[in-house]
Chain A
Amino acid sequence: MNKHLLSMHDVTAEDVVRILDTAESFREVGTRVIKKVPALRGRTVVNFFLENSTRTRISFELAAKRLSADVINFSASGSSVSKGESLKDTALTLQAMGADAVVIRHSSSGSPHQLTKWISGSVLNAGDGTHEHPTQALLDLYTMREKLGRLEGLRVAIVGDVLHSRVARSLSFGLVKMGAEVTLVGPPTLIPPDVSAWGVQESFDIESVLPKLDVCYVLRVQKERQRLEYFPSVREYSRLFGLTTGRVGLLPEGALIMHPGPMNRGVEIDSDVADLPHSMIEEQVTNGIAVRMSLLYLLLGGSRSGNANADAEEPGDD
């Protein structure tokens, strides 16, 4: 495995299998009364969140704590960043404090790449601008594999604002890497004009795509895109591209409905659809913790130290 996880391009298909397998063994930890293993005892994980994100931050925090790491939460408001400190100076501060891993969420694409110049520990991208969100993609792959038993050959549509979605990028790259067939669906203004390099299909007609799917992955629509003239109205968006109650029946039986959250009920997904039994939205959240435990464990020594010390303990040891 690479030292950092900046993009889904940093992991091979074998790495993905290893991450998901390791996550599986960690998943059980979350069902115990005492949800903790000593795997990362004495290691320091910094959650460096320069953009608001409650769910991803909490998920990483729980993951690190369940591995017994010391966790520092460093957010934009109330920190030196709000006083104008630069990314570099903040990074050097974290470095000086001995962070073993920095989990970064930032509104600027590429900031995790830049962080690696100043931080000697591992950098985990928890979402950067409109670039990537690889841990979300990995937890989604975990959920699909868990429910459908495989990734290879799965037919997955990613529906919505692909152009600005870091989830869509990471998930597309991850699915294609694992041999799945990906179709991007949405208004043409919100699909990149040239995705030839991604190895995916595109469609502007959700109803023709739904009957052929194993997974319909719905992206959050940001309403401000309407002001920027990408589509005429939220109402028309929902009519043409939403996963509505009227449309959901087109999905084959057993197909999954997924969404990275937070949802706009009634916009990209109807409320009743979100609450269907084959909607995986809560499972995604639960699996997120196990996948992030797996990543922290593998990046912080699970693979690199062969000694029988605390960090090298197999997951599940207590």
Chain B
Amino acid sequence: MTDQILIRGARVIDPATGRDETTDVLVAGGRIAGLGQGLKADGAEVLEAAGLILAPGLVDLHTHLREPGEEHKETIATGTRAAAVGGYTAVSSMANTVPVTDHAAIVAEIREKAAQAGLADVFPVGAVTKGLEGESLAEMGEMVASGVRVFSDDGRSVSTARILRNALTYARAFPIDVVIADHCEEPSLVERGQMHEGVNSYSLGLAGRPAEAEEIMVARDIAVARLTGGRIHICHLSAARAVELVRRAKADGVRMTAEVTPHHLAFTDEDLLTYDTNLKMHPPLRTAEDRAALVAGLADGTIDAIATDHAPHAVEEKEAEFDLSPPGTIGLETALAAVLTHAVKPGYLTMTRALEAMSSAPASILGAEGHGGPIEQGRPANLVIFDPDEEWIPEAPFVSKARNCAFLGRRLTGRVRYTLLRGDLTVADGKATK
């Protein structure tokens, strides 16, 4: 074993600095030790990377790791292994664990288990309210002290404008810039809803979740962010009008960011005609116009980041009747390929912008120090190396414990070959090393 790795001939794309050149990269002592043509290092492990792209390790703002409490769906070890295989070096674990991640002890437990697994850094997201119940604020201060920066009652919107106001206001006490990430769907409009409301839901006889539910909640959150001066992050945007609301609010100087999932960039509600439960998620897949608005919002920076909303479920839970199956798709292993296939290859996004939205932008929202680049000498070697042209078809079993993948059986282009976490190969030749 050596702790030196020489990566030869990769196209290095670093969104943070704008670097895009074919060069060698030397990794030593967990850090980037050198960049340049014709680097030499005696005894270093050599990775021949001609034709491959080297970029900052990917960072996910929205991962459900399910541990503690729902280890039959996923564990911290299996979830971070899936992350590594997908090219991620950092993920944020959502707070809807059992018990809820609403106090410092659970945050510490999650971090410890992630460190033991050593596959990706995990940044726990804390709950805004105790037990996600929307009634009283969770102990945000203690969680901030244990390293939490992003808070969310994900799965549901922060219950009331008043709670959201108080959380954003209270957060001003802390030395870091706390972010409240909100799942935006007005609950009374989506009660029992199974898919996007529109011609297809009416024909399929499935109760709808109208785009307006998202629009209403995004508008509320923008107003409350303005009222408090606090910082809002909109989770998994899905509706064209909501994208427009974010665009205008940002122009008005509201402190906010937003994310979109790969599946919302790839599918529409037309894809539900066969009642495929792997395509059931909240918010739902919407129309072609919505999808186009999401891609445009991502291209012009209205939407900052791409986040997976990796939502593992047990096979038997997802293989149920459509209205009885839980919402969500896994996404860590397919995210990069899905974005390359559905946004970069058709020419909607540049490769650099796609990688920015998957690495440096989410790293900055999450405050994930050392992740997301820049790729410069002395920086931690958190890197992904992928083949932008390899075609493959996602099939079960996955590295994730779950197999509820929207992209199951659908051809994708682009595959991760190596992932480095602080210079340590967590993935080599496309396979997890541990």
Contacts of A169 in B (CB 8 A): 203, 205
**Nearest residue, chain A, Cβ from B315:** A88
Contacts of A111 in B (CB 8 A): 321-322
Q: Is the CB of A109 within 8 A of B316?
A: no
Interface residue? A130 (CB, 8 A)? yes
Q: Is the CB of A110 within 8 A of B275?
A: yes
Q: Is the CB of B198 within 8 A of A110?
A: no
What is the bound-complex CA distance between A239 and B323, given in angstroms?
34
**Nearest residue, chain A, Cβ from B275:** A110
Contacts of A114 in B (CB 8 A): 275, 321-322
Most buried by B among A106, A130, A169: A130
Interface residue? A198 (CB, 8 A)? yes
Of B199, B202, B206, B316, the residue contacting A110 (CB under 8 A) is B206
**Nearest residue, chain A, Cβ from B324:** A108
Interface residue? B2 (CB, 8 A)? no
Q: Is the CB of B202 within 8 A of A129?
A: no
* Complex interface bits, B300-326 against A, C-beta within 8 A gives 1, otherwise 0: 000000000000000010011111100
Interface residue? B204 (CB, 8 A)? yes
Contacts of B116 in A (CB 8 A): none
What is the bound-complex CA distance between A86 and B274, given in angstroms?
19
In chain B, positions 253-301 with a C-beta closer than 8 Å to chain A are 274-275
* A146 CB to nearest chain B CB (Å): 28
Q: Is the CB of A131 within 8 A of B205?
A: yes
Interface residue? A31 (CB, 8 A)? no
In chain B, positions 189-208 with a C-beta closer than 8 Å to chain A are 194, 198-199, 202-207
Q: Is the CB of A132 within 8 A of B205?
A: yes
Q: Is the CB of B205 within 8 A of A128?
A: yes
**Nearest residue, chain B, Cβ from A106:** B321
What is the bound-complex CA distance between A109 and B207, given in angstroms?
10
Contacts of A131 in B (CB 8 A): 204-206
Interface residue? A234 (CB, 8 A)? no
Most buried by B among A87, A129, A132, A198: A129
Report the interface size class on chain A. Answer: 20 to 34
Q: Is the CB of B204 within 8 A of A110?
A: yes
What is the bound-complex CA distance between A197 and B206, given in angstroms?
16
Contact (A197, B203) CB under 8 Å given A88-B319, A113-B275: yes
In chain B, positions 28-54 with a C-beta closer than 8 Å to chain A are none
In chain A, positions 159-185 with a C-beta closer than 8 Å to chain B are 163, 166, 169
Contacts of A108 in B (CB 8 A): 321-324
Q: Is the CB of A113 within 8 A of B199?
A: no
Of B202, B204, B205, B320, the residue contacting A195 (CB under 8 A) is B202
Report the interface size class on chain B. Answer: 10 to 19
Interface residue? A253 (CB, 8 A)? no
Of A86, A106, A198, the residue contacting B203 (CB under 8 A) is A198
Contacts of A129 in B (CB 8 A): 205-206, 323
Q: Is the CB of A130 within 8 A of B205?
A: yes
Interface residue? A194 (CB, 8 A)? yes
* B190 CB to nearest chain A CB (Å): 14
Interface residue? A192 (CB, 8 A)? yes
Interface residue? A196 (CB, 8 A)? yes
In chain A, positions 271-314 with a C-beta closer than 8 Å to chain B are none
In chain A, positions 111-154 with a C-beta closer than 8 Å to chain B are 111, 113-114, 128-132
* A11 CB to nearest chain B CB (Å): 16
* A304 CB to nearest chain B CB (Å): 24
In chain B, positions 158-208 with a C-beta closer than 8 Å to chain A are 194, 198-199, 202-207
**Nearest residue, chain A, Cβ from B321:** A108
Contacts of A86 in B (CB 8 A): 316, 319-320
**Nearest residue, chain A, Cβ from B323:** A108
What is the bound-complex CA distance between A87 and B325, given in angstroms?
12
In chain B, positions 90-111 with a C-beta closer than 8 Å to chain A are none
Contact (A197, B322) CB under 8 Å given A109-B206, A128-B205, A166-B205: no
**Nearest residue, chain A, Cβ from B274:** A113
Contacts of A88 in B (CB 8 A): 316, 319-320
**Nearest residue, chain B, Cβ from A170:** B205
**Nearest residue, chain B, Cβ from A197:** B199
What is the bound-complex CA distance between A163 and B204, given in angstroms?
11
Contacts of B199 in A (CB 8 A): 194-197
What is the bound-complex CA distance between A221 and B2, given in angstroms?
75
Contacts of B204 in A (CB 8 A): 109-110, 131
Contacts of A113 in B (CB 8 A): 274-275
Contacts of B202 in A (CB 8 A): 163, 192-195, 197-198
* A166 CB to nearest chain B CB (Å): 6
**Nearest residue, chain A, Cβ from B194:** A109
What is the bound-complex CA distance between A131 and B319, given in angstroms?
19
* B7 CB to nearest chain A CB (Å): 44
What is the bound-complex CA distance between A87 and B199, given in angstroms?
28
Most buried by B among A110, A131, A169, A192: A110
* B118 CB to nearest chain A CB (Å): 37
What is the bound-complex CA distance between A96 and B248, given in angstroms?
59
Contacts of B316 in A (CB 8 A): 86, 88
What is the bound-complex CA distance between A175 and B323, given in angstroms?
28
* Complex interface bits, B367-391 against A, C-beta within 8 A gives 1, otherwise 0: 0000000000000000000000000
In chain B, positions 312-363 with a C-beta closer than 8 Å to chain A are 316, 319-324
Contact (A109, B319) CB under 8 Å given A130-B205, A194-B199, A195-B202: no
What is the bound-complex CA distance between A194 and B199, given in angstroms?
6
In chain A, positions 54-77 with a C-beta closer than 8 Å to chain B are none
* B290 CB to nearest chain A CB (Å): 15
**Nearest residue, chain B, Cβ from A108:** B321
Contacts of B203 in A (CB 8 A): 169, 197-198
* Complex interface bits, A93-115 against B, C-beta within 8 A gives 1, otherwise 0: 00000000000001011110110
Q: Is the CB of B205 within 8 A of A87?
A: no
**Nearest residue, chain A, Cβ from B199:** A197
What is the bound-complex CA distance between A11 and B80, given in angstroms?
48
Nearest first, the 9 A-B pairs at minimum CB distance are A131-B205, A110-B275, A108-B321, A192-B202, A130-B205, A109-B205, A197-B199, A110-B322, A113-B275
27 residue pairs A–B, Cβ–Cβ below 8 Å: A86-B319, A86-B320, A87-B320, A88-B316, A88-B319, A108-B321, A108-B322, A109-B194, A110-B205, A110-B206, A110-B322, A111-B322, A113-B274, A114-B275, A129-B206, A130-B206, A131-B205, A131-B206, A132-B205, A163-B202, A166-B205, A169-B203, A193-B202, A194-B198, A194-B199, A195-B202, A196-B199
Seed contacts A87-B320, A88-B319, A108-B323; 14 additional CB < 8 Å A-B pairs: A86-B320, A88-B320, A106-B321, A108-B322, A109-B204, A110-B322, A114-B275, A114-B322, A130-B205, A131-B206, A166-B205, A195-B202, A197-B202, A198-B202
Interface residue ranges, B against A (CB under 8 Å): 194, 198-199, 202-207, 274-275, 316, 319-324
